[in-house]
């Protein structure tokens, strides 16, 4: 059976293995909606669990990114997030020196000790090619180092994998972005925990 959890926020996560609580308790205003039957057609950006894979969709918006001095994140005419500027230090450890998206505490715990597949969907702003460096950082027990992802004039998805070490205390994980060559428009960010 496929479970689907839909969040109305910037970060979405699907999880399975929930058990029903048999003791009635007052419930706060619900954030997620849980559907226990498989929908006929999954909505765009659906978060699902199949064959033990948890998919986390990070919706790239201006509000979702933390942007250091020297970099700029804007919304392009096509509605994608454009990352530009110069990252002088190029640090991928701790809180990355690039613009970054914060991964939630629950998602950090799920990724801990597992292999993650990071998929970035985007395209070059102008010309035939542009590239962006992307790093997964635990801010505690290691990071993937920068992976250079190249994009052409058409929207495509590029990816890399990282074996996330077991967390000790959990200091939040981050996905850092640093311009490498040209400007990349980021349409979607997905992390599949395997």
* pLDDT score recorded for residue 43: 24
* pLDDT score recorded for residue 54: 77
* pLDDT score recorded for residue 48: 42
Burial 162-179 (b: 16+ CB within 10 A, else e): bebeebeeebbbbbbbbb
pLDDT tens digits along 149-174: 999 999 999 999 999 999 998 888 98
pLDDT band at 123 (very low <50, low <70, confident <90, very high): very high
* pLDDT score recorded for residue 90: 65
Token couple for 6: 């839909």
* pLDDT score recorded for residue 91: 62
Count CA atoms within 13 Å of residue 156 on its CB side. 14
Residue 44 has pLDDT above 70, yes or no: no
Residue 36 has pLDDT above 50, yes or no: no
**Mean pLDDT, to the nearest integer, of 99-126?**
92
Backbone angles phi, psi at 110, to 5 degrees: -70, -40
Distance (Å, whole) CA 164 – CA 110:
10
* Closest C-alpha among 118, 122, 120, 162 to residue 142: 162
* pLDDT score recorded for residue 93: 56
SS3 12: strand
Distance (Å, whole) CA 126 – CA 116:
30
* pLDDT score recorded for residue 78: 84
State the chain's mean pLDDT as an integer. Answer: 74
Token couple for 141: 């027990």
Q: How far is CA 151 from the centre of its chain?
A: 18
**Percent over 70 (pLDDT), the chain:** 67
Count CA atoms within 13 Å of residue 29 on its CB side. 2
* pLDDT score recorded for residue 192: 92
């Amino acid at each position: 059976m496929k479970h689907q959890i839909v969040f109305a926020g910037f970060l979405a996560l699907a999880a399975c293995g929930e058990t029903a609580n048999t003791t009635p308790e007052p419930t706060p205003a619900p954030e997620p909606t849980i559907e226990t039957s498989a929908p006929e057609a999954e909505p765009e950006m659906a978060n699902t669990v199949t064959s033990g894979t948890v998919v986390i969709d990070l919706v790239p918006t201006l509000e979702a990114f933390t942007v250091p001095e020297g970099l700029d994140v804007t919304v392009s005419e096509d509605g994608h997030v454009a990352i530009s500027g110069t990252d002088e230090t190029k640090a991928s450890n701790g809180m990355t020196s690039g613009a970054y998206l914060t991964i939630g505490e629950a998602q950090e715990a799920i990724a801990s000790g597992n292999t993650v597949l990071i998929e970035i969907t985007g395209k070059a702003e102008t010309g035939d090619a542009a590239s962006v460096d992307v790093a997964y950082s635990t801010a505690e027990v290691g990071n993937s180092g920068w992976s250079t992802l190249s994009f052409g004039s058409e929207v495509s998805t590029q990816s890399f994998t990282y074996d996330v070490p077991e967390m000790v205390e959990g200091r939040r994980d981050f996905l850092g972005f640093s311009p490498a060559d040209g400007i990349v428009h980021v349409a979607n960010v997905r992390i599949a925990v395997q």
